[in-house]
Structure 1
C-alpha cells in the first residue's frame, strides 16, 4: 500500500517538472533569490528616502516578534489544508490559545502556558474535525462557528477565572514571560556596522542584528517547526498519507489509508499550532498579558501567509516574514516609514516589469507598470499617512500580496470537499 503511494511519479514521457522539459530552480534557491532582491530594494529605498528605519535592528526585532503568531497560525493552516480541510477557524483557535497561555503561565510559568495554549487550540481543532470530518459540515461554516465560539468561550473563562484575580473580566493578571537571549558579541559587531551607515552593508547588519538580539525560546521553536513540518509532510510515510487525503481521499482509502484518522490528526496539530500562535501574543516579552480579542485578525493573516506560500512551509515562512515586517515597521516608525516602504514597492514593481518584458509577457508588464505609477503617485502626493491607518498596514499588504500571488496558486485538489468513507467522490 505505502509502496504504491510512494512510487507514484510522472507518467512515462511526461515532462518531469511540468514546464515543457525546462529545468526549474529549486524552491529554496528561488526563496533565497527573492530575499536578496527584497533586501536590495529595502536598502535602495532607505538610501533614496533617508528613512533608515526600513532596515534598522529595531524594525527587524519588532518584525520577528510580530511575525511569530502569523507563522504559527500559517503552519496550523498548512497541516489542516494539506489534509483537505479548510481551516478559517484559526482565529478562534488562536483566541483559545491566548486564554490558555495566560492561565497556564499564571500558575506554572511560560512553558506551562505554551503547553496549555497548544491544548486549548487543539481542542478547537478537534471540534472542527468532528463537525467537518465526522458530520460533513461545510468547512467555511464550521470555521466561522469556531471563531465565534472561541471568542465566546474565552470571554466566559476570563470572567470566571481572571476577574477574581485581576478585577477585570477582559484582562488577566500579570503573567511570567519567556526570557530572551542575544548573541552579544555578534550583536555588538553588527551594531557598529549598522551605525556606520554604509549603503547595503549597514542595512544587512541592521536586519541581522535585530534577528540575533532579544530572541526568545518560543521564536527558536517556531522557526524550527518550519523544517520539521516540511520533513514530516514531505519526507515521511505519515506525511505522504496525510497529503494524499487532501489530493484524493477516495484513492487513498482504496490503498488502505485511514483517511478519517489522518484528517483528525491534521486538525489536532493545526489547532495546536494556532494555539501556540495565540501564546506568542501573551508570553513574548514586549507583548501584553491576556486581553479580550487581542489576536486582531492574525489568524486570517496567517491563512493568507499560507496561501501566499502556496501551501508550502518555506513559502509561508516568507509570507509571515513579510506581514510581520510590515507590522513591525509601522510600530517602529509610523506613517513616514510606511510611505518609504511604498516607495520600495515601486522599485520592486520596476524589477518585476523588467523581468516580464524579458519574458515577453506584455500584459503582465503593462499591469505592473500601471501599478508602479499609481503607487508612486500616492507616495508623491501624501506627506505622511494618518496614524489611524498605519495599524492596518499588514492587512493592506495581505490584500495586495494575495492579489499578486493568485495566478500561481496550486491548492490540494480535494480541499474543502466532503468525504464519506466508502463513497466515491
Structure 2
C-alpha cells in the first residue's frame, strides 16, 4: 500500500549501477549545450547561445512552465486538465483588467482568481458530475475564449476603441544582477568558443528578470516539496494512483481532487498573467495565448509528470519559441546542424548499448537532418512560425516510450467504489 500511496511501483530487475535521474538530466543538458556551442560557430549564428535569445526564451517559457505546473497538480490527483488553455485565457483577461485598474500585483492576484474559477468549473464537472475529463476540458477552453471575448467587448472597447485588446497595462519592473551581468556581457562580446557561449546563457538568466519570473521558478521546488515531501502531497497523489485505496485509509478523495484542480487553474491563470504583466506585451490581446496551454500540457508529459522534468520541457519549448522570434529563419535553419550532432551522440550511445536498430534509426534521422541543412539556405517563414509546435510533436514522439502517468489519471471515481 505504501508504494501505491507514494505514486511509485517497484521495478523489477534493477541490477547494476545507474546514474541518478538528476545526473542523467544534467549530462544531457551539457551535451545539448556543447552541440549548440559547436553549431553557433560552425554556422556563424551566435544568436543560438546569445543572452538576448536566452532572455526571450525565459520570458516565453514562463507561461508554458506555469501551465505545465497546473497540469501537474491536476493530473497527480487523477484529473486530466486539457482546459489549461481556457484557464490561461481567463487569466490574461483578469490580469489585464485588474492590472489596468490597480497595478501589476493586483493583476497577478486577479489572474490567479480567474484561472482558479476555471479550475473550479472543471472540478465540478469532472469530480462531482462525472463528466468525461476531455469533454469538460474542451468546454472550458471554449468557455474561456468566449467569456474573454465578451468581457473584452464590454469593458475594454469603450477605453481602447478595440474589442480585441485592452489599453496598455502597467508591468512588473525587471532586475539584473550587477555587476555580474556586465562582466558576462563583456565575455560574450569577445566571441570566444565556449567562454562566450557560457557567458551568453548565464547573462540571459541573470538579466532583465521580473518578480513574476522569480515566482514561477520558485513554484517548481515548492510544488516538489508539497507534492512529494508532505503528508498533504502524499494524500493528493494517492488520489491519482488508487483513489479507492486512499478512501479506505480515510482520505477525502473529492476534497483533494477539488483542491488540486483549483490550484491547477490558478497556476494556469498566473501563466496567462505572465503574457501581459512581464515586459514585452502592451496588454491583453485576443488569441495571445497561442495554444501555450496545450504546449504546457506537452511539457508536463515530456517531464513525466515531475516538476524537474517539466521545467526542462518548458525551457526547451520556450527556447525554440524565443529563437524563432529573435532570429527567424536563419537560426531555426542552423538548428538542423545541432540536431544532427545530437542524433550522432544518440546513435553512439545506442551502439554502446548494443541496440543496433535504434542506432541505425538515429543515424538515418541524422542524415535527414543534415541533408535539410546542407541543401537549403533557410526555412520558409510559414514553417518557422510553428517551430514550438513542431518541437512539441517531435519531443513527445521521442519521449513517449518512457512515460509513466498516474495510474488512475482520467478515471471516474465514486464514493463506495470497489
Flag whether TM exceeds 0.5 (same fold): yes
SS state at 2:251 partner = coil
Partner of 1:415: 409
The residue that corresponds to 1:230 in the other structure is 224
Instruction: Provide the residue aligned with 1:301 in structure 2.
Output: 295
Aligned to 1:387: 381
**Counterpart for residue 318 of structure 1:** 312
| Equivalent pair of 1:6/1:240 in contact (CA under 8 Å) | no
- Spell out the pairing of 1:14-413 with structure 2 (5 A cutoff): 18-413=12-407
Whole-angstrom distance in 2 between the partners of 1:275 and 1:9? 28
Stretch deviating more after TM superposition (215-224 or 166-175)? 166-175
Q: Does the C-alpha gap of structure 1 residues 10 and 220 become closer, same or farther in structure 2, counting only changes over 3 Å? A: closer
> Offset at 1:184?
2.3
Distance 1:387 1:381 in 2: 17
Answer whether contact 1:93 1:275 (CA < 8 A) is retained.
yes
Q: Structure 1 residues 216 and 9, CA, compared in 2 at 3 Å: closer, same or farther?
A: closer
Q: Which runs of 5+ in 2 are unaligned?
A: none
Task: Confirm or deny: 8 A CA contact 1:17 1:24 kept in the other structure.
Answer: no
Q: Is the 8 A contact 2:333 2:373 kept in 1?
A: yes
Deviation at 1:400, TM superposition (A): 0.4
Distance 2:5 2:324 in 1: 48
String of CA shifts for 1:129-181, please: whole Å, max 9, x gaps: 00100011100000000000000000111111111111111110111001000
Q: Distance in 2 between matches of 1:406 and 1:308?
A: 8
> Any idea what SS the aligned residue of 1:389 has?
helix
**Counterpart contact for 1:17–1:23, Cα < 8 Å:** no
Change (3 A) 1:279 1:352: same
TM-score (norm 1): 0.96
Between the two proteins, the alignment pairs up a number of residues equal to 418
Residues 174-198 of structure 1, C-alpha deviations (whole Å, 9 max, x = no match):
1100100001211111111111111
Cα deviation per residue 1:250-304 (whole Å; 9 max; x = unaligned)?
A: 1111111110000000001000000000000011101231001210000000000
Provide the TM-score with structure 2 as the length reference. 0.97
Alpha-carbon distance between aligned partners in 2 of 1:120 and 1:352, rounded to the nearest angstrom: 44
Contact kept in structure 2, 1:335 and 1:384, CA below 8 Å: yes
- Partners of 2:296 and 2:6 in 1: how far apart? 32
> How much does 1:362 deviate?
1.4
Residues 38-92 of structure 1 deviation map (CA, whole Å, 9 limit, x = unaligned): 1111001111111101000110000000000000000000000001111110000
Q: Post-superposition shift, 1:26?
A: 2.4
Gaps of 5+ in 1: none
Contact 2:119 / 2:262 at 8 angstroms: preserved in 1?
Answer: yes
Following the alignment from structure 1 to structure 2, what is the Cα–Cα distance between the partners of residues 47 and 220? 32
Inter-CA distance 234–211: structure 2 relative to 1 (3 Å threshold): same
Contact 1:88 1:144 in 2 (8 A): yes
Q: Separation in 1 of the partners of 2:162 and 2:124?
A: 34
Q: Give the conservation status (yes or no) of the 8 Å contact 2:76–2:237.
A: yes
Alignment CA distance shift 1:339-1:9 (3 Å): closer
For residues 288 and 18 of structure 1, what CA distance do their matches in structure 2 show? 54
- Asked if the contact 1:281–1:288 (Cα under 8 Å) also holds between the matched residues in 2, the reply is no
- 1:72 touches 1:222 (CA, 8 Å); kept in 2? yes
In 2, distance between residues paired with 1:246 and 1:114? 29
1:367 deviation in Å?
Answer: 1.4
Inter-CA distance 353–59: structure 2 relative to 1 (3 Å threshold): same
Counterpart secondary structure, 1:199: coil
SS of corresponding position for 2:331:
helix
How well do the aligned residues superpose, as a CA RMSD in angstroms? 1.6
Once the 2 structures are TM-superposed, how far is the Cα of residue 5 of structure 1 from its aligned partner?
A: 4.3
